[in-house]
Amino acid sequence: MEERLKPMDAEQLRESAHRMVDFIADYYKSIESFPVLSQVEPGYLRKLLPDSAPDHPESLQQVLEDVQAKILPGVTHWQSPNYFAYYPSNSSIAGFMGEMLSAGLNIVGFSWITSPAATELEIIVLDWLAKLLNLPDDFLSTGPGGGVIQGTASEAVLVVLLAARDKFLSRIGKSSLNKLVVYSSDQTHSALQKACQIGGIYPENCRVLKTDASTNYALSPDLLNEVISQDISTGLVPFLLCATVGTTSSTAVDPLPALATIAKRNGMWFHIDAAYAGSACICPEYRPYIDGVEEADSFNMNAHKWFLTNFDCSALWIKDRKALIQALSTNPEFLKNKASQANMVVDYRDWQIPLGRRFRSLKLWMVLRLYGVQNLQQYIRNHIELARQFEDLVSQDPKFEVVTPRIFSLVCFRLLSPDNDGDKGNKLNRDLLDTVNSTGKIFISHTVLSGTYILRFAIGAPLTEERHVNEAWKVLQDEASKLLATIQNN
Amino acid sequence: MEERLKPMDAEQLRESAHRMVDFIADYYKSIESFPVLSQVEPGYLRKLLPDSAPDHPESLQQVLEDVQAKILPGVTHWQSPNYFAYYPSNSSIAGFMGEMLSAGLNIVGFSWITSPAATELEIIVLDWLAKLLNLPDDFLSTGPGGGVIQGTASEAVLVVLLAARDKFLSRIGKSSLNKLVVYSSDQTHSALQKACQIGGIYPENCRVLKTDASTNYALSPDLLNEVISQDISTGLVPFLLCATVGTTSSTAVDPLPALATIAKRNGMWFHIDAAYAGSACICPEYRPYIDGVEEADSFNMNAHKWFLTNFDCSALWIKDRKALIQALSTNPEFLKNKASQANMVVDYRDWQIPLGRRFRSLKLWMVLRLYGVQNLQQYIRNHIELARQFEDLVSQDPKFEVVTPRIFSLVCFRLLSPDNDGDKGNKLNRDLLDTVNSTGKIFISHTVLSGTYILRFAIGAPLTEERHVNEAWKVLQDEASKLLATIQNN
């Protein structure tokens, strides 16, 4: 007779988990040996794995060997010091400790009662972070507002949009959904468009206002005013303005104070997406970039991007938590309990899309405690300094140009086309991106601004040091020279 | 000069993580010593923690001491063998290994290119699981359908509702949103109501059909037919039918084949929520409960409930993935890449609400490989056998009654009121729930069926053995006797 499975034996857990720790630590020791961007072909893994689950157990050794041989080649190494694509997604020892503990306890914190510590630590830690960012007191849990950890900025902007939508519809009637208008710039993250789709906002009522180099790709208050006036004159109802501090393409910063005034005058919900750049605002010298947040209805930053907190951890603060709860609460019998019914507690399930939720505050708490504020500030400053150095390197090479002024730790640049032809220049930079990423030495990504294809070099991986930036620049120069030589030979 | 922070030093990671492993293994060794339901008062933690984040680093030792002294008392121990509330939320060594590796790699798998292994392993493992459940081939990735891991069943039903909504609206026009009608029973999970709120379905068009003991709280096809006919006659458009296999209150099983016929005849999207009971259907003897899934458009089960996969991991299969992608895709420039543009790959960001996503397939893959199918079947069977034994215990005690026939591993029961008074009986059971949970020895939850307050005893924690069930029954009997004595003395 086979012995009964012991899926949670403490000593077996200890033994297996120690092995996994060594596996992961060894991974970090060797992380620079992998191609940063995975070089596999679509469908590679299907050829390496069986068609169905095994009937009988396999050993941890077998599984770890498969991770090494079959999974890791298909991994794009976001934690590599040579990762400069998109925006960073920080892992840290503290964040990893928090993930381990959260997975170890494996609670489901939908209501306060299902683990009071999960709810209360989240409240406390988001108050800590709000104070670090010098957010207005209205965002603290002690008033009618408060903070909550969402999975991602997409979910943050979605719940905000739903709260704003339902607040307006409760006033003008749900049949007026077709009148609600959302405002943002063409640099706003696509998550807003997705939130509009989900919330049923009419596509023709999503105002995506054009930006250009004259405002460094920030939203123009004049244009916004103009469009809002037009909309009001045709009977539409402006209800949500989404501003960004640190856009995904180029870290543009929308002019919050001017936008806040417009939002207020028109009675709109004003949301600020600082998913990437919010982290920098714990440094006093970068805090002015969110001046105007005092007038916002909601504010979001991703601790999982550039704040050493493992994915996922997106911090959202809101001034009127009732609006959120109004839009997202249900109250089924099977979840009723004394503490909730007596309104003595926060039940975060009513602040988010899903019912279930992980104990995510642990990792943010550990990051703040194990590193401390001064180290975190230094961490941010170091990346920004490295980006400044990279910007200098690019500026000094006449073959390249820096396209938008660097603000935080992203440099937008391009290789100049020898014949000054826009289309050829775009192709040249697309080719440079492909060849550089194909080397496996570094991974960068791109964007398009005013029709021009641009390379993005985003510094922010926890292991990145000056030497990695310098070597990356050498890879870019080398591949650029090769490309230019090919062109000149044709 | 202070040394620069090394947030991801491999050897520091190794040392810290080994300590955390021991902390977690020790937690599991002592897990029975904690009150299952946390006994803290609202606001307890605020008194124990400082008001702001520390300027300077604290040691891991300090943090772990705080976890022990301040956090654990506020934890409700979902992994305790004496946890019988709601539904289980399984942790396992394999699941924990997967969580560790996922947090260690810390990739963000929104597009195939951002870690091909994450997308491809998810496709493969959901095909494995679909085969285990004997789902129709239409749900496999090889056709026009496929599987995807959502965070929770709430997100699964939301994306399904959005796909169905937009499919219908593209036909009848978005201004006809007010005509769309959703059908479910009053036993359907509140996640559907929440999805309706989010998707803007008119509350008056959400048909919550009454169930009662005559169908064992399953949805009546006759009633459904009747209501649909009425709706059609008033010009409304039935678009979504949500059936449940294993309802949250009492594990009721809706009659899938009859419902499928009705859905098909009326051209509706047919979704099956088997969040809890789906796991049991890997055993051939329980598979008949999802007969009829062949005709469903989408099917969902939570591997994080009763399938040894740590939270969160909700498996959703869909027959027409295009409908999902249509509703949820955006295509911003900064995410474009060759593989995606060439339609050679799956980009799961278009199958879900958020953009970012964790490498969740690792944990499901590890569960399937490290345990094997036969062990997983035995694991399920053991819990169901324990539930059968508990049901026997309740039946043999004339002071109690089993309220609904037990199907899986949940027993719905109640203490009988000595004077046969409904209101008093409800109060009696509410009091029993409170006193039992206040002992800290076990944690159970409740529901209300046809106005009657009922106790739920859900078996499914990985550490639960026969002795825990017997001891739990003794706690229930003892507390019941005390309560009854108090009543008789008054």
Question: A448 — contact with chain B (CB < 8 Å)?
Answer: yes
Is B424 a domain residue?
no
Q: State the total domains in chain A.
A: 2
Is A56 a domain residue?
no
- B345 contacts in chain A (CB < 8 Å): 42
Residue from the list A67, A86, A339 with its beta carbon closest to the beta carbon of B101: A67
- Please indicate, yes or no, whether residues A321 and A383 belong to a single structural domain of this protein: no
Residue from the list A42, A175, A190 with its beta carbon closest to the beta carbon of B178: A175
What is the pLDDT, as a whole number, of residue A1? 41
- Please indicate, yes or no, whether residues A307 and A430 belong to a single structural domain of this protein: no
- Please indicate, yes or no, whether residues B29 and B151 belong to a single structural domain of this protein: no
What is the pLDDT, as a whole number, of residue B420? 81
- Please indicate, yes or no, whether residues A119 and A247 belong to a single structural domain of this protein: yes
Test A76 with B175 for CB contact under 8 angstroms.
no
Test B154 with A327 for CB contact under 8 angstroms.
no
Is A117 a domain residue?
yes
Q: Cα distance from B460 to chain A (closest Cα, Å)? A: 12
B/e letters for B278-304, b = 16+ CB within 10 Å, e = fewer, are bbbbbbeebeebbebbebbbbbbbbbb
Test A100 with B21 for CB contact under 8 angstroms.
yes
What is the pLDDT, as a whole number, of residue B1? 41
CATH number, domain with residue A154: 3.40.640.10
A19, A22, A97, best to mutate vs chain B, most B CBs in 10 Å = A97
Residue from the list B191, B334, B366 with its beta carbon closest to the beta carbon of A355: B191
Bridge pairing between strands A180-185 and B298-302: unpaired
Question: What are the residue ranges in chain B where pLDDT is below 50?
Answer: 1
Question: B143 — contact with chain A (CB < 8 Å)?
Answer: no
Residue from the list A20, A43, A78 with its beta carbon closest to the beta carbon of B100: A20
Is A305 a domain residue?
yes
- B431 contacts in chain A (CB < 8 Å): none
Which domain range does residue A423 map to? 369-489
Per-residue CA distances from B137 to A204, B120, B291 (Å):
39, 18, 14
Is B483 a domain residue?
no
Residues 250-289 of B with CB under 8 A from A: none
Is B434 a domain residue?
no
- B434 contacts in chain A (CB < 8 Å): 338
Q: Using CA atoms, how far apart are residues B270 and B266, in angstroms rounded to an integer?
A: 10
What is the pLDDT, as a whole number, of residue A2? 53
- Please indicate, yes or no, whether residues B72 and B104 belong to a single structural domain of this protein: no
Bridge pairing between strands A400-402 and A180-185: unpaired
Contact of A441 with A55, CB cutoff 8 Å: no
Intra-chain end-to-end CA distance of chain B, in Å: 74
Last residue within a domain, chosen from A307, A333, A358: A358
Residue from the list B5, B42, B373 with its beta carbon closest to the beta carbon of A378: B5
- Please indicate, yes or no, whether residues A301 and A419 belong to a single structural domain of this protein: no
- Please indicate, yes or no, whether residues A406 and A439 belong to a single structural domain of this protein: yes
Test A333 with B447 for CB contact under 8 angstroms.
yes
Last residue within a domain, chosen from B77, B110, B132: B77
Q: Using CA atoms, how far apart are residues A224 and A263, in angstroms rounded to an integer?
A: 10
CATH number, domain with residue A427: 3.90.1150.10
Q: 3-state SS of A331-374?
A: CCHHHCCHHHHCCCCCCHHHHCCCCCCCCCHHHHHHHHHHHHHH
Residue from the list A51, A95, A121 with its beta carbon closest to the beta carbon of B45: A121
A185-230: pLDDT as tens digits: 999 999 999 999 999 999 999 999 999 999 999 999 999 999 999 9
Q: Indicate the helix (H) or strand (E) that contains A390.
A: helix A361-396
**Six token digits for residue B229:** 């006919």
- B70 contacts in chain A (CB < 8 Å): 117
Question: What are the residue ranges in chain A where pLDDT is below 50?
Answer: 1
**Six token digits for residue A180:** 């609600």
B33, B75, B248, best to mutate vs chain A, most A CBs in 10 Å = B75
Test B107 with A89 for CB contact under 8 angstroms.
yes
Q: Among residues B252, B178, B240, which one has the least CA distance to residue B207?
A: B240
What is the pLDDT, as a whole number, of residue B489? 79
- Please indicate, yes or no, whether residues B215 and B153 belong to a single structural domain of this protein: yes
Is A99 a domain residue?
no
Question: B26 — contact with chain A (CB < 8 Å)?
Answer: yes
- Please indicate, yes or no, whether residues B285 and B255 belong to a single structural domain of this protein: yes
Test B78 with A108 for CB contact under 8 angstroms.
yes
Residues 310-349 of B with CB under 8 A from A: 310-312, 327-328, 330-335, 338-339, 344-345
Test A154 with B355 for CB contact under 8 angstroms.
yes
If you measure CA to CA, which chain B residue comes closest to A40? B116
- A199 contacts in chain B (CB < 8 Å): 198-200
DSSP assignment of B434-445: HHHHHTSS-B-E
Test A105 with B79 for CB contact under 8 angstroms.
yes
Question: A68 — contact with chain B (CB < 8 Å)?
Answer: no
B3, B55, B71, best to mutate vs chain A, most A CBs in 10 Å = B71
B67, B100, B202, best to mutate vs chain A, most A CBs in 10 Å = B100
- B152 contacts in chain A (CB < 8 Å): 354-356
Is A255 a domain residue?
yes
If you measure CA to CA, which chain B residue comes closest to A311? B106
Test A57 with B375 for CB contact under 8 angstroms.
yes
ipTM for the predicted complex comes to 0.98
Contact of A71 with B125, CB cutoff 8 Å: no
Residue from the list B108, B117, B355 with its beta carbon closest to the beta carbon of A71: B117
B/e letters for B209-232, b = 16+ CB within 10 Å, e = fewer, are bebeeebebbbbbebbeebbeebe
Test B151 with A354 for CB contact under 8 angstroms.
yes
> What single DSSP character describes residue B247?
-
- Please indicate, yes or no, whether residues B210 and B255 belong to a single structural domain of this protein: yes
Last residue within a domain, chosen from A331, A358, A385: A358
CA dihedral B468, B473, B478, B484 (to 10 degrees): 160
If you measure CA to CA, which chain A residue comes closest to B112? A42
- Please indicate, yes or no, whether residues B267 and B297 belong to a single structural domain of this protein: yes
Test B112 with A327 for CB contact under 8 angstroms.
no
- Please indicate, yes or no, whether residues B170 and B58 belong to a single structural domain of this protein: no
